[in-house]
Amino acid sequence: MLLLSSLLPEPVNGARNKNVTTTKDKNSLNSRNARIVKELTEKKDVDKTDKSLIDDLFDINIRKGTTFSDFVPLRQNDFSVRAPMPTQQEINETFLRTKGVFEKILSGKTQNKSSTPLSSQQANRQSYEINYKSTAGDKNGKDRIVKIVQHAADPLQPNTIKAKKVVAPATEDNQTPIFHKTDAGNTEKKVLTKEERDQWNIPAAISSWKNPNGYTIALDKRLRLDARYNKDNTAPYEVNEKLTALSTALEDADRIARDELKQKAELKRKEAEKEIKSKEEKLKLLSAKAREHANLTRNSRYEGSSNDSKELEAERARTLIRKAKTQDIEKDIRTSKMSTSEKLRKLAYSQKRDISEKVILEAAKATKVEQVSYDSRLFSKGANAHSKRSEDQVYDNPLFAEQDIGSLYRPNLNELDKQIQDEDMLNRIKSTKTFDAASTNSGPIEFTEAENAGNKSKTKDNFGIQEKRKE
């Protein structure tokens, strides 16, 4: 029997699914085409058009044994007909299969593929191949196969995409506190156990990008707090035993390195202390040698002939005398420059007498005159302002009416004579040879020719230069 669908044109997207067709479909199409060809070839009247041939074939294959009741739906003919419903087992299987497909799609969308580490087996399992024909350098082309494998990432590398904090929008409704029921009779405070405290403990946040304090965080703790390795984000990541062993080995290596550095620092400190002690011992030896050498030179200086010792003693005595005279002259000069009160105080101290400060302070004051407490000219000036005793009198009163006040600034001739004598004595001492030798030279060093005959004999003319000059 020829079907109507065999005479319809191919669908628009049929070319895409040519390779997808099964062998069963291909066999059915071939049988249909064979029957159509057989019907067309077996017709006796070949002069008819293609349309008439198709109509004849339709009349032969379709209308044969077909009635109007065949086009009426089954529910109209028999209302008791029911479509077969799937069983509960089929429904559950379909539900689980659909759920698995959706979960796979959602997990692929929500999971961060760039940060999820993959093992080599997972990477090879997700790989796929692409077949293509390259025409570069060859006219016919070559078939090439490219295998695409996902790159396996380092599981300890932090995520390159930093998650930003999202602040929840403020709600206008006030938060309603939640009250729990408590026992009215039990008023004592409940003491939490260690297990309960550990359950309420919230670990500190560990950043994968910042470590300003330089804290060392164990790898197992870092992975336990990292939610990327937990698919459901409900439980900590189960760390492999090898990773724990690796972190322990790293900690041991760090501890051993620190111990070695500490030992090196201790050895350096001990070597520095030894070097300092050796230097101190060397300095002590040098100072002892210097003291011994000084004692030897001091002893050798006073050893020698009796004549030398006498000359040294005489020179030392003269030096002491000169020094004593110089001190006496300087003392007299300082005394001459003292004020009268200081001289009196020094004199009293030398005579072992005690003079009060009031007496010493009154030494430089003028003689008190009771009449000088006011100006007497003011009393006589009013009545005798225009009267004169004689024509030769130019002023009203004498110029030096108070002679006692003028005696304050009168020089002391005895003190001046003594000061002049002291200065003459000092100049005479300075003009001696002792002070001339200590004075600085005003010009360059002058050399004089030796007058001794022995020196002349020593200077010999080895090469005869002086004789040649004379010639």
Average pLDDT over residues 6-29: 55
pLDDT > 90: what percent of the chain? Answer: 12
Q: Has residue 44 got a pLDDT over 50?
A: no
Q: What is the dihedral of CA 183, 185, 189, 191, to 10 degrees?
A: -70
* Better-predicted residue by pLDDT, 366 or 294: 294
Q: Once rounded to an integer, what is the mean pLDDT over residues 352-367? A: 55
The SS3 assignment for 130 reads: strand
Confidence of residue 15 (pLDDT cuts 50, 70, 90): very low
pLDDT score of 117 more than 50: yes
pLDDT at 303: 61
User: According to the model, what pLDDT value does residue 304 have?
Assistant: 55
Confidence bin at 276 (pLDDT 50/70/90): very high
* Per-residue pLDDT at 262: 95
Residue with tokens 């900690």: 251
Residue 17: pLDDT band by 50, 70, 90 thresholds?
very low
Band the pLDDT of 267: cuts 50, 70, 90. Answer: very high
| Residue 293's pLDDT band (cuts 50, 70, 90) | confident
The per-residue pLDDT for 264 is 96
Quick one: pLDDT at residue 307? 60
pLDDT above 70 (res 226)? no
Residue 275, pLDDT > 60, answer: yes
Q: Which amino acid does the sequence have at 13? A: N
Q: In terms of pLDDT, which residue wins out, 258 or 64?
A: 258
Closest Cα partner for 219 from 210, 206, 232, 209? 206
Percentage of residues in the chain with pLDDT exceeding 70?
Answer: 50
**Residue 376, strand partner residues:** none
- The total number of residues written for the chain in this structure: 471
pLDDT reading at 339 higher than 70? yes
More reliable by pLDDT, 73 or 251: 251
> Which of 145, 151, 104 shows the shortest CA–CA distance to 123?
151
3-state class (DSSP) for residue 175: coil
| Interatomic CA distance for residues 82 and 74, integer angstroms | 10
**pLDDT at residue 443, as a whole number:** 60
Which pLDDT score is estimated for 279?
A: 94
With 0.85 as the threshold, say if the pTM is over it.
no
Residue 281 — pLDDT band, cuts 50, 70, 90? Answer: very high
Please report the pLDDT score of residue 56 as a whole number. Answer: 59
Give 249's pLDDT tier (boundaries 50, 70, 90).
very high
The average confidence (pLDDT) of the chain is 71
Give the pLDDT of residue 383: 52
Q: What is the pLDDT of residue 278?
A: 93
Q: Three-class SS of residue 136?
A: coil
> Which amino acid is residue 129, in one-letter code?
E
Question: Is the sign of the CA dihedral 29, 35, 38, 39 positive or negative?
Answer: negative
Phi, psi of 252 (to 5 degrees): -65, -40
The per-residue pLDDT for 20 is 45
Instruction: Please tell me the predicted confidence (pLDDT) of residue 432.
Output: 55
pLDDT of residue 261: 95
Highest mean pLDDT among 46-50, 122-126, 215-219, 295-299: 295-299
- Residue 192's pLDDT band, with cuts at 50, 70 and 90, is confident
